[in-house]
Amino acid sequence: MGPKQHVRLQKGNITTRMGKIRAGAHKTDGNMIAYFTTYLVVNLDLADIFSGASSSKEAIMRILALHGLGASGAMLKAQLRPFIKSFGKEHQFVFFEGAVPCGRGPAVPAWESGPFQSYATGFTPQEMREALHRIDKFIRQTGPFDGVLGFSLGSAMAVSYILDQQRRNPDSRPPFDFALFFSPIFVASPDDACYERLVDRILDDDHAEFRAEFPDGDSASLLGSEEERVFTEYLKVVLSMHSSVGTSLPNTRLDFLSFEAQASNVPRLLHPDIYKERVRIPTVHVSGLNDVPAMEKQSQVAEGLYTPSLTQLYRHDGGHEIPFKKAEVMTIISMVNDTAEKGKQLQALYDF
């Protein structure tokens, strides 16, 4: 048994069998948004707090885990059970909890009773900045972490966080050595300068006809440049997810390109054809061959945001889910171990 621990966290939690949840609210853009502030005041062995933990005398690889849309840390822990067991006691999985209540997510089974959480009230630059701030605060309080793992929206938030850290701290060590992403969906930037000129053009008077018909208009004929077409066609793909899986996102307006639209309300969805920065850490990308088409497309777009030479890809025969077959699990774990080793070698370069 390891040493006893006394833990107190805010606006996020480590999934454990014991804990105390306190509800609250904060104001965003004039709306009261409910959230959960979790205070874990526990007196447990570390093995009870982190799945797969062992004694402090052994080298431990710590992995931050981010759940999907309309899910929770506890649900992700259940989804990862085959991986947690196979990785063994040398790995700690620390589960961050989204702060915004929302509806049941697309990958959540019907028997789950909730609560269901998201990371953001919406995906404008300001809303993304607030969401990434909560993640960053959690990392600073409970890190450092060797790697990051995400599923669906959790993967997308991790990609956004990594790219944002690289942009803001170009000469610093990356926040993680490696990443494992399961079925990422759309990646939104918190930077309001991202696509600034592009968004201004789409909102000018010359594009009024396009905006009036969006998302049903013919972007190819109504827009003047290739980057405008790429950006707006991808917006349409992401919006089509609402009809495919239902609206799970809280306070997400779909009329952000209306005649009275403001640039600050337009999500800056990252697409590798028009966004040139890449995730600069070794990455394993896992996706299902039978995913919902709109989500499969988003996963492919997210894949394009990685550095190709540092990326390993794995396709399983399932849908929008974390694979659980033993052979698939062991193959992915082998890829992660290789990726983690490469990540350590790259991080060592920052010490020179």
Nearest to 151 by CA among 68, 93, 65: 68
Of the pLDDT bands very low, low, confident and very high (cuts 50, 70, 90), residue 213 is confident
pLDDT of residue 246: 58
Domain at 47-189+271-351, CATH from 3.40.50.1820, 3.40.50.10470, 3.40.50.300, 3.40.50.1100: 3.40.50.1820
Rg of the chain in Å (alpha carbons): 20
269 pairs with which residues across the strands?
Answer: 188
Nearest to 188 by CA among 318, 69, 32: 69
Residue 23 confidence (pLDDT) above 80: no
pLDDT of residue 197: 94
Which residues in the chain are classed under CATH 3.40.50.1820? 47-189+271-351
pLDDT tens-digit map of 313-322: 999 999 999 9
pLDDT tens-digit map of 155-179: 999 999 999 999 999 988 899 999 9
DSSP letter string over 166-189?
Answer: HHH-TTSPPS-SEEEEES----B-
The dihedral over CA atoms of 246, 289, 162, 138, expressed in degrees to the nearest 10, equals 60
Q: Is position 258 annotated as part of the catalytic site?
A: no
pLDDT of residue 58: 57
Compute the Cα dihedral for 81, 87, 89, 94 and give only its sign. negative
Of the pLDDT bands very low, low, confident and very high (cuts 50, 70, 90), residue 260 is low
Distance, CA of 176 to CA of 287 (rounded, Å): 21
pLDDT of residue 207: 87
Phi, psi of 36 (to 5 degrees): -115, 125
pLDDT of residue 312: 97
pTM: 0.82
Catalytic residue among 51, 72, 152, 248: 152
Phi, psi of 64 (to 5 degrees): -80, 130
103 pairs with which residues across the strands?
Answer: none
Q: How is residue 241 written in tokens?
A: 């997810």
Of the pLDDT bands very low, low, confident and very high (cuts 50, 70, 90), residue 33 is very low
